[in-house]
Each structure stands twice: as C-alpha cells, then as structure tokens.
C-alpha cells in the first residue's frame, strides 16, 4: 500500500506533505500571518455551523455538478491561486492543472507561479484554467500580463485586491523562506534533510535550466529565487475600483474580484464590471484580525442578490464545508491548501487524491441533508443560523 493509499482525508495528505517538504516550504503553505488567529478562526467558524439531516429521500439519481461562467464543473469547487505549487513538486503547477482537468474543476494559476501561463496552457490545453492577477505599480506590466494570459487561452481573470501591503509572516524569516532564498546553515540543513525533495524537485529544476524563477513576471524581474536583488515588481498600493473597470476593457471573459469581506465592496466590484467575487481573507495569511469568511458570507450574498457569482474561500478542509457555504449563499467554493497538501504528498496523483476526497465528502454530506443537486441546497439544511445570518436577513 502506497503512502497516498493511506491518506483518507486532507489532514492525512498534509502529514505526508510535511514529511516530504523542507520545513520552510511546508510552513509557507501551512501557516498564516502573525499569531495565526485568522487561520484557526476560519476553521472554527465552519465547525460551529451544524446541519440538519433529512432521510427517506430517493438518492439514486444524484448530480453534484454545476455550471458557472458557461463551464460545467463536476462539483462546486475551484482551486485557489497559490504561489508555491512549483516548489512543492517539479512543475507542480502543471501537475495540479492536470489533476483539476481530470476531475472537472477549475485551476487558478497565480501571478507568482514558477511555471509560465504559456507553458501551463500548452501542457493542459483542454482544462478550465483561470489566471490570478496582483496589480503592480508599473501598470503597463500588469496589463501586458493580463493580455498574455488572455491570449494564452485562460478563461477567467481573478484579481486579488487584499495583498498590496504584503503580510507579516515571521516564521518565513526564521526559516529563511524569502525571495530571494536565504541560504543559511539552518536552511541548507533543512533542505538536505529532505533528499527526495532536494533531488526530485530542486535538483530537477537545476538539471533542466537552473534554479526556478517567477516566470510570469516581466523579463527584467525574472530572477532566480536565490538571486539577491532589489529588482522585484512592487504591488499596487493605490489601486481603486476604476482599475477593475480598466481591466474590463482588456479582458474578454469573466472577471472575479478576490478578497471581499464587505457587502459594499461586493456591490462596488459588480458596479465596475466584475462578474463574480470571492469572499476571502487570504486564508488567514494577510490580516490576522480578519473576520472568518463564512461569517461574512450571508450579508454579502444578500447584497449581491444573485447579480454575480459568489465563491467562498478560506478555511475549507472538508466536503461538508462546501455544503455549508452553498446553504449560506455561495455558488461554489475556492480552496488552495487541500490540493497543495496533495501535490506535496504525491504530485499529480496527490492532487487528484485531494480532489477525490473533497468530492466524496461533499456528495456524502449532500446525501445526509437530503439534497440530490446543489439547486436543492438552502438555509433549511442549517440546524440554526450562524453568525452574520440574522444581520443579513434584516438587511434584505
């Protein structure tokens, strides 16, 4: 029995990834900002929500799929953008895109990816690939990247708005996991203590062209991750809603704004051309005092009132969490860590394992609450209103 065969849930995949990856790489994926309060509370908020079962329902004909932005998904789950997938496995972005393609769900490639958008699209041409954008101060570089993703064939543009000021993750500094990498005796020992990763990931990059780079950056900023330089693109700190309107002029397909925690921000996004929003606190990796997203969802869903697609991000670890999000107004969820743990545990096969686990758990929970399709999910499946629900109902 292989190590993936012994993984029965996302927590098991996490432990396998922890064994395979150097501490610096693993903690970058696993941990959050500052005291990591937001990471814990994202999970606790889901755990507080309880569901009511419904039995004696004919479940022989079940359909867990949905159609969003004109594309059929096997279940209401998309993979969030993450910047380190290519350091968890050799060409990890391609491995995860293939896993998503095999399971019929969208994969979102990040601005900070190791593999270029062109290479991902060439490797997985038939998958539902989205592209995530961090706006840079040099706006023309951002617009050029958007056009590059558009011309490569990406189908949805996800604009992240909650990252302009960076983050405060002290453990990255302690582990030497910064860009550029800080090679110290401690970090070197950490990498050498994980020989399968050192040879199978870092070694393969070196053997096939050198140390990894952020391949979606402008050419002048595509430095090796070990290169000491101050020349990196700066995040746009003066971004406003008019920037979404500008992107609308460039991007032909749907635009999704990620990082919404206020109903008025959701309404502003829609007013400036967004087709969807992601209710997200960056997985607890940005503002440590940020409210749990599932608590904010009902009020935001009431304000949107089906004028745009709503995705819920941050804290999702179980298929049952998807049902809770749907019941509170989301059309689907996005999650990054579950499939990152899968990729870190076993590459494409691990990514597929993570998606299979989430799909199976989602379908079982749907059966327990008596729902055969996602159209049947409503607040009625909730045992009692969660935080934020009463305020949302009063606002309607």
CA–CA dist 121, 130 (Å, integer): 10
Q: Which residues are known catalytic residues? A: 282
Number of neighbours of residue 332 by Cβ within 10 angstroms? 23
Nearest to 180 by CA among 229, 231, 242: 229
């Amino acid at each position: 029995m292989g190590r993936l065969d012994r993984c029965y849930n996302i927590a098991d995949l996490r432990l396998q990834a922890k064994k395979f990856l150097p501490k610096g790489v693993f903690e970058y994926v696993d941990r959050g900002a500052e005291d990591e309060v937001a990471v814990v509370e994202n999970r606790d908020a889901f755990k507080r929500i309880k569901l009511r079962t419904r039995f004696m329902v004919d479940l022989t004909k079940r359909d867990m799929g949905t159609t969003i932005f004109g594309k059929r998904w096997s279940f209401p789950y998309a993979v969030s953008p993450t910047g380190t997938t290519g350091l968890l496995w050799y060409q990890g972005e391609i491995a995860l895109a293939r896993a998503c393609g095999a399971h019929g769900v969208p994969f979102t490639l990040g601005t900070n990816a190791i593999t270029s958008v062109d290479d991902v699209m060439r490797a997985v041409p038939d998958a539902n690939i989205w592209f995530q954008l961090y706006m840079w101060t040099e706006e023309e570089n951002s617009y050029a990247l958007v056009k590059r993703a558009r011309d490569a064939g990406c189908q949805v543009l996800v604009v992240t708005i909650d990252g302009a000021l960076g983050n405060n993750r002290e453990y990255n500094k302690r582990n030497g996991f910064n860009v550029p990498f800080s090679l110290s005796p401690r970090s070197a020992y950490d990498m050498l203590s994980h020989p399968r990763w050192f040879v199978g990931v870092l070694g393969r990059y070196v053997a096939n062209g050198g140390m990894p780079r952020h391949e979606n950056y402008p050419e002048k900023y595509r430095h090796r991750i070990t290169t000491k330089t101050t020349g990196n693109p700066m995040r746009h700190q003066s971004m406003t809603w008019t920037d979404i309107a500008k992107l609308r002029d460039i991007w032909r397909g749907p635009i999704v704004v990620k990082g919404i925690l206020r109903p008025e921000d959701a309404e502003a996004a829609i007013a400036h051309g967004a087709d969807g929003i992601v209710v997200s606190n960056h997985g607890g990796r940005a503002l440590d005092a940020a409210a749990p997203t599932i608590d904010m969802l009902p009020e935001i869903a009431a304000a949107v009132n089906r004028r745009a697609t709503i995705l819920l991000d941050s804290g999702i670890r179980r298929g049952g969490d998807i049902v809770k999000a749907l019941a509170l107004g989301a059309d689907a969820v996005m999650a990054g860590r579950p499939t990152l743990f899968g990729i870190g545990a076993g590459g494409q096969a691990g990514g597929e394992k993570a998606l299979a686990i989430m799909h199976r758990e989602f379908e079982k929970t749907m059966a327990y609450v008596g729902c055969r399709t996602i159209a049947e999910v409503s607040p009625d499946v909730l045992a009692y209103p969660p935080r934020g629900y009463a305020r949302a109902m009063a606002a309607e």
